[in-house]
Structure 1
Amino acid sequence: MMNKLNSKKWIVAVSGGPDSMALLDMCVKNKVDVVVAHVNYHKRDTADRDESCVRNYCEMHSIPFHVIHPKKTTTGNFQAWARDVRYDFFVQCYLNEKADGLLVGHHQDDLIETYLFQKKRNSIPSIYGIAEKTKQGKMLIQRPLLKMSKRDCMDYCIENHVPYQIDESNLGNDYTRNKIRHNIVEKMSQEERKAILKEIKEKNIEKKKIEKKYSPIIKGKQLNYTLIEHEPKEIRLVCLRLWFKQQKRQEANNTKSFFEQLDHVLISRPNYELELNEGLFTCSNRICEIMGNEDKSYKVVLQSIHDFKTPHFIVKAKGLMGVNACTVKESDFPLTIRNVRQGDFIQLRFGTKKINRWFIDRKIPLKDRKNWPVVLNCNDEVILVPGIGCNVEHYSIKPNLFVLKY
């Protein structure tokens, strides 16, 4: 399992729990080149204890150790915010360390729990359970422990004298996932585990077959529902979701009930309209299309600074200091100004900021987000986002580049 990781350098996400500590110790014993990343949210009184556990292990084994202490300053879902902060930090470590990817200690209990959570939400996910390999932008994420149970991870730590800590917030039933974990997953017999893992595998195989078979139908801007209306309902629902995903619509993440309702209408009515979060879903003689979903991407390359105007932004060489200004050097050229993309982030004085998270925090309308300009240097680093500001390396009291969203 671990010998396949030897030839690369990895960031390891380590919380201090038995799963991530077991993963870290396996890497050490197999001489895998690793750098540890730890996030301390200070949400629990024992959070510093967990950090000390990880730090002490790293010092003992001469492993580079990186930690952040983020503070939530906005209202809203803590779990979503925490995940964004966590993975932004992992990406930054990955870039700074020139690593090959990220290792995460998700185990078999997490896989089963995620699948049962998906079933409870009645969702149509990209994958049932948890994928062994995924990507965050260009960063590869690998999960080597998916065949080990949580009990296996704890037993490994005990047998190998690996210190670990228990997150007390996971012991209660405050969240749906915790209820699934304690009331169902932890009480499963080995036979029940094998049965549910077989079910997950079969559902993913079937889903891949559907995606491959119906790919020619769902990859266009229009969806001809007459080509799938006589297929079983489950196939129609998967095709609908995949088509929405192909159109890069956030509705692709909606629950199964959304697609069931839409499918019911499309089967019974040849003509239909539905207002989306942005744009309009239309069906004319069972030909589906999303209006207002046109590709609005743009890209402008600058070899020097000069005043000009586009339909999306204005560039000036003079202006006032603030969130629309930065200082660029000759080594930054050529500059690129384009609209924001998924995964874009900027390094600010107080840490990494995911641009999409800033949109959410500031309640920027969806219609404005696609056209929001960002400025990148020749290394493809975002150095300025109008309305947010510039990164730490391009701030000065005498800025020479000003970009305003038009």
Structure 2
Amino acid sequence: MDIFKTFKKENKRWVIGVSGGADSMSLLDMCRSNGIFVVAAHVNYRKRSTADRDMNGVQRYCERFSIPFACKIVDEFPKSCNFQNYARQLRYAYYREICDMYQCEGVMVAHQLDDHLETYLLQKKRGAHIRYAGIQPEITLYGLRVVRPLLGYTKQELQEYCHRHHVHYYDDESNFTDHYARNQIRHQVIDKLTYDEKQRMVNEIAAFNEHGKQREERNMALHEEFIQECTSDFLHRLSEGTCLNVLRSFLEMHDIYKVSEPQLRNIRQMLLQKEGNHACRVGNYTLRCEYGMISLTQQSCLGYSYIVHSPAILTTPYFRTVKTGTVIDGVTVSESDFPLTIRNARPGDAISLRFGKKRLNRWFIDRKIPASQREIWPVVENKNGKIIFVVGIGCDIEHFSNNPNLFVLK
């Protein structure tokens, strides 16, 4: 119970994810009895006939002890989705919403020792490269601090706690089936282990993680270097296992957690390409490798367009205009050119230069401009819709002089 004394001493508010089972009801009661300010958050998916029973039971407990109770009822789900993954994302998004509402430190969840052992056995069964064996006591998930204070308790101990302290709890009947791999391991392996056998497995996990801690520290140092460089050359210098760890850390930094081992290996193969442009979707992001340069963008640019009525100073997320600069950054405009339109490059754009017409797409390819940059490359049109200037190329032949009066910088 020392961990709850620490939480009490910190005097911070916490959200608790409460399903109504023995684990989460024990956690809720332990926090209450130790004087920790908590908000109980319950998500009712209504996938079982007893779902409302669980919700009402949690609410009654909270009303009895004047604990703030927040509940989200979900009646509809996407037709084609992995329910477990979808429910998990929805649940943590709701926890984050409640954390913000009550200005809480983070969320406590009731994973316990049996869950810890099940996760470890699942990891071994899948043959995945394990960065951390079992369940971590504390992580940041979807930008939210998540702590698990019950990892030292078995499920049986938490059930006994509820009986001893007269805390009602409600079993999720779906846990009694073997429909999920986790349930199979629970019923066929974990439930048959003695307390001493569980402790030996706990020690095995701890030894693995202690050894891996030093390895993880090295990986994090490499991750920081990768963020600075973001190139295929950097990844080529790493062993396959280290490279996969660095890439996973890179994705998790952008709240991308659900990436399978095979998918991560495919991503690595794509990013090792030094020639050409390659891209793939990862979560809500597009991961690109363009001529050996790696980038991760949340969405493609939908286009922009700014109207300019005079050679004024203008700053935007895509370009800026200034009073002075080099000849290649400038264009000589007259009153007959206004209003100007400064927009992003589009397919088919071309500009007339002294040596002939130059298509932007060809120039992008010759200069190996990444696709993510092409989408936002600044182009200047006069009022007649003629392209008179492109950043990096310069102005067309009609608007060239040694004393330009408008400078456009990317």
Find 1:144's aligned residue among 138, 144, 149. Answer: 149
1:129 to 130, 134, 143: 134
Give the unaligned 5+ runs of structure 2.
282-286, 300-305, 309-314, 319-370, 377-410
1:194 and 2:199 are equivalent in the alignment: yes
What amino acid is aligned across from residue 244 of structure 2 in structure 1? R
Asked if 1:242 corresponds to 2:245, the answer is: yes
Residue 51 of structure 1 is aligned with which of 38, 50, 55? 55
Aligned with 2:251: secondary structure? Answer: coil
The alignment's C-alpha RMSD in Å is 3.7
**How far does residue 127 in structure 1 lie from its aligned partner after superposition?**
2.2
Q: Residue 103 of structure 2 is aligned with which of 88, 92, 98?
A: 98
Task: State how far apart, in whole Å, the 2-side matches of 1:276 and 1:262 are.
Answer: 12
Given that 1:133 and 1:141 are in contact with CA atoms closer than 8 Å, whether structure 2 keeps it comes out as yes
1:135 Cα deviation from its structure 2 partner: 1.8
Query: Secondary structure at the residue paired with 1:253?
Result: coil
Measure how far apart 1:257 and its partner are.
9.6
State the secondary structure of the residue aligned to 1:53: helix
Q: 2:14 aligns with which of 10, 17, 26?
A: 10
Structure-2 separation of matches of 1:159 and 1:113: 26
Q: How does 1:271-350 map to 2 (within 5 A)?
A: 277=280, 291=292, 293-294=294-295
Return the alpha-carbon distance in structure 1 between the equivalents of residues 211 and 275 of structure 2: 30
Q: Does residue 20 of structure 2 align to residue 20 of structure 1? A: no
Counterpart AA for 2:59: R
Establish whether residue 114 from structure 1 lines up as the match of residue 119 from structure 2.
Answer: yes
**Counterpart residue number, 1:67:** 71
1:37 aligns with 2:41: yes
Which structure 1 residue ranges, 5 or more long, are not aligned? 229-235, 282-288, 299-305, 313-366, 373-406
- Residue by residue over 1:153-176, the C-alpha shift from the partner in whole angstroms, topping out at 9 and shown as x without a partner, is 100001111000000011100011
* More RCO (CA 8 Å, sep 6+): 1
In the TM superposition, what are the counterparts of 1:372-391 in structure 2 within 5 Å?
Answer: none
Aligned to 2:259: 253
* TM-score of the superposed pair, with normalisation by structure 2: 0.62
Look up the equivalent residue of 1:211 and give its one-letter code: E
Structure of greater Rg: 2
Could you tell me how far apart the structure 1 residues matched to 2:240 and 2:67 are?
Answer: 48
**In the TM superposition, what is the alpha-carbon distance from 1:177 to its structure 2 partner?**
0.9
The answer to whether residue 212 in structure 2 is matched with residue 207 in structure 1 is: yes
- In the alignment, the residues of structure 2 paired with residue 173 and residue 97 of structure 1 have an alpha-carbon distance, to the nearest angstrom, of 38
Contact 2:274-2:291 within 8 A present in 1 as well: no
- 2:185 is aligned, of 180, 188, 209, to 180
Letter in structure 2 aligned against 1:203: F
After superposition, the C-alpha distances for 1:104-153 in whole angstroms (9 at most, x for unaligned) are 11100111111111122222244221111112355321111000000011
Whole-angstrom distance in 2 between the partners of 1:64 and 1:226? 52
TM-score scaled by length of structure 1: 0.62
Q: Is the 8 A contact 1:124 1:256 kept in 2?
A: no
Q: CA deviation at 1:262?
A: 7.4
**Seq. identity, %:** 31
Aligned residue identity for 1:44: R
Q: 2:22 & 2:194 partners in 1: Cα distance?
A: 21
